[in-house]
Amino acid sequence: MGNACHYHSGADAIWQCSGCSKEYCGECVPGSVDNYYKSTPKCVLCNQRLNNVGASNKARPFWQMASFYFRYALSSGPLMVSAICAVAAIAMTGLGWLSIFVLVAMLAVVIRYNLLVIEKLAGGQLEAPTFGDAQDGRSAAIFVKVIGMILVAGGVGMLFAGLGEGAVQVYSIILSLLAPAAMIVLALEHSMRAAVNPLKLLQFTLIIGWPYWLLWLSTSAVSAAPAYLLPVVAGKLPAWMLLPLLAFVTSYFSIVTSAMMGYICLTRQQKLGVIAQVYDDEFMEESEFDRRKALANASILLREGRGEEARKTLVNVLRQQPDDIALNERYFRLLLAIDDRKALRELGPHLLERFIKLNQAHKAAELYLATASAVGTPAIDKSLLRHQLAEALYRQRQFKPALALVNNLHKEDPNYTRLDSAYLLLAKIYMDGFNRTDNSRALLAFVEKKFPNSAVIGEVRQLQGILAAEQRAQPVPGR
């Protein structure tokens, strides 16, 4: 199982900071790498560039991916390479000594493609490269390096031959065991010197650990598959089909083994120092990216006790996007978290009013209650805001704070233009929250008398009818 994000335990880490050893998920580091300066995100805590570990962190163990390797070699790129090998094998039969050049070209193409498979999988690209990806002009150079590796191995073998048959056998075993490591090192470092360095190869096997020996067993078995397959079909197919079939099958199984090598590197990507290749399609527009990044950074900074930095981060983006609901809510809750009472007194009512203007009265009510619980009931001097908050609290059945907001509104602001609606709300609060129907009747009667042409008069009379019906339904004492 992969490492979890330091701040979201239910999410896999995608980025890692070597400076402060923190691991981040996609919520902590939103957007595409192209959203960041020089296409590389930086750690919000120490400003060092982050390393992408997404593919390696999600990678399953090597031995659980058997079907993947065989499916991988059946995708379009590998099949194209195998088909070219089959066609080349057919062409070779009628070219005489020129067939040597075709064979060399075919081997160069196959080796280049296989090394590219190792390189791409090690970097995190789980889709097979196309045939065109391998046509980068490096096939000949790589083929020469492979020939050089074979010559070095042969030269060392000749030295061992002088020590006796036993030494040759030991050398052959060592050569067989280190062959996958040599191909992987060549694919990743593009250096023949590194690929024939026994210390380098030993270091590689130690980094991979015991799965390397499972890799060796697997690649040995798969590489031997064509030798076992050909005798089975030899008597069932025309003779002219055997060579192209052998070429196709050999190429196919070589790509399977290369996929095994690349994937095992992916599982040890960080330890091997492989540069991860990031493939994503989550590029965000600038405003959305700034918003998401500010929310993520503020959350991280606050959890690390750097509340003032978190506040500045949000303020900078709020200046550009003052009506964003998520930013405003995060800022309000940040003030609560850092217990900035002065800011809550001065900015709290303004922020609550903004939520209501953004059609988020329920959110304003939640934050009003949170403020009252944390630092005491905020003083709100705007009658309309008090009225709107009380309505939102009433809808959430928070009757006591709703009552406190509108109870004396008519005394504190007798010129408030919506007193009729405020009286109606007060009557509802008394009726539904405290079962004080006498207060409700008195308030409704007052509204009917004082505001006969009010827009709420219809609702007033409807509530009066409900209260009258309830009163008639009550049993008369003594009967």
Eight-state DSSP code of residue 36: S
The tens digit of pLDDT for each residue in 199-244 reads: 999 998 998 888 899 999 998 998 888 888 777 777 777 777 788 8
Contact criterion met (CB below 8 Å) for 115 and 189: no
Domain range summary for the chain, segments of one domain joined by +: 15-52, 62-272, 410-479
Average pLDDT, the chain: 87
Residue reference for tokens 């992916």: 266
Q: Which of 253, 187, 263 is nearest to 220 (CA)?
A: 253
- Residue 1: pLDDT band (50, 70, 90) is very low
- Tell me the pTM: 0.66
Q: Which of 32, 61, 472 is nearest to 285 (CA)?
A: 32
Please say whether the dihedral angle defined by the alpha carbons of residues 277, 281, 285 and 289, taken in this order, is positive or negative.
Answer: negative
pLDDT at 14: 82
The tens digit of pLDDT for each residue in 237-280 reads: 777 778 888 889 999 999 999 999 999 988 887 777 676 565 55
CA–CA dist 430, 445 (Å, integer): 14
